[in-house]
Amino acid sequence: MDEEFKIYTKGGDRGETSLLGGTRVAKSHERVEAYGNLDELNSFIGLIRDQDIRPHYKEILIRIQENLFIAEALIARDPDKSPRTLPALSEQEITLLEREIDAMNEELAPLRNFILPGGHPIVSICHIARTVCRRAERSLIRLKATSPVDEIILRLINRLSDYFFVLARKVAKDLGATETAWEPGKSGK
């Protein structure tokens, strides 16, 4: 019988954690920051998935969450040690996102202005996921300046932020929510 996975280990009580491979680092380490941002993104995706949206979106979101878990594991790995074999991300996942973006865009009016986030709570959650995704991307780029980061992770995260922008617009259309264009100077201030 498998041993039960214990949630608390007390190993982080002094502000450190272990990377995959066993190396201890500060919880403020760039690598921990990067996979923490991916984890936060994954949680917001779960919140989108829990909303009343089309089943197809939910299926794609589950696949995205699974891919983010893979990305988190790859980032949490100590690059100087070889822990057990981890799953890999494939180019197919990026292609899927591009196809989904293109399919949604075909049903949307062309963009002529920036869009103000909002219009419906689900749309707003999609925009939050987009901005958390952008933060995750920035943290991965900072990490890449000092340590290896698999290029496919960077491409996946970059495409994901585009996906969430278009998903927000498509969900707004599906729900009949108003999409507010940003028009500088129009507010009268």
* Six-digit token string for 83: 């822990």
Q: Kindly report, residue by residue over 161-182, the tens digit of the pLDDT.
A: 999 999 999 999 999 999 888 8
Strand, coil or helix: 24? strand
Rounded to whole angstroms, how far apart are CA atoms 169 and 178?
Answer: 10
Which sequence spans correspond to the domains of the chain? 23-77+87-100+114-177
Return the H-helix or E-strand segment holding 16: strand 16-18
> Which CATH fold topology does 23-77+87-100+114-177 show?
Hypothetical Protein Ta1238; Chain: A; (1.20.1200)
Confidence at residue 11, expressed as pLDDT on a 0 to 100 scale: 59
- The CA-based angle 105-117-42, given to 5 degrees, is 80
Please give the residue that has the higher pLDDT: either 183 or 170.
170
Rounded to whole angstroms, how far apart are CA atoms 100 and 103?
Answer: 5
Q: Kindly report, residue by residue over 27-52, the tens digit of the pLDDT.
A: 656 887 898 899 999 999 999 999 99
To 10 degrees, the CA torsion angle through 12, 14, 16, 20? Answer: -40
* Six-digit token string for 99: 């196809």
Model confidence, pTM: 0.88
Confidence at residue 182, expressed as pLDDT on a 0 to 100 scale: 87
Residue 6 has pLDDT above 70, yes or no: no
User: Average pLDDT, stretch 76-96?
Assistant: 85
* Six-digit token string for 74: 């790859």
Q: Kindly report, residue by residue over 100-141, the tens digit of the pLDDT.
A: 999 999 999 998 889 999 999 999 999 999 999 999 999 999
Confidence at residue 28, expressed as pLDDT on a 0 to 100 scale: 59
* Six-digit token string for 113: 């202005």
Confidence at residue 183, expressed as pLDDT on a 0 to 100 scale: 84
